[in-house]
Amino acid sequence: LESYLRRQGLVGTPYTPLVGDLKMNYSMMMEARSKHIKLTDDITSRVLPFPLEMLKTHGKSFFTWLGTTPVITIMDPDQIKEVFSKVYDFQKPHTFPLGTVIAKGLATYDGDKWAKHRRI
């Protein structure tokens, strides 16, 4: 899977079996929280140290690993538009089974149902 992502032109962290980037993410979060900050400081480096470091290292499009699942981050407006307009190419992950019971709508729909509600 990692080699497929790289062939698609994405860059990112190498896969670590089972844990992915969780260990690195956790250690960066603990390090960031151990430092004191002022009210006038930019809190991004404290709240999201791992994604911020990946953005600095890999640019606006990259992948990381949440356990065994790749997480692709894109920040280019044209790529974002493509993702949101191609319902059949980009399916949402179903990581929270009760999500459809608790809330229904555009955020939880897939396929034809998503396309229909998006047009409304």
Check residue 51 and report its DSSP letter. Answer: H
pTM over the 0.75 mark = no
pLDDT tens digits for range 32-73: 989 888 888 888 888 999 999 999 999 999 999 998 989 999
State the burial class of residue 22 (Cβ atoms within 10 Å of its Cβ: 0-12, 13-18, 19+): middle
The answer to whether residues 73 and 51 touch, using CB atoms and an 8 Å cutoff, is: yes
Q: Using one digit for the tens of pLDDT, what is the confidence trace for 70-91?
A: 999 999 999 888 877 876 665 6
Asked if 52 and 75 count as a contact pair (C-beta separation under 8 A), the reply is no
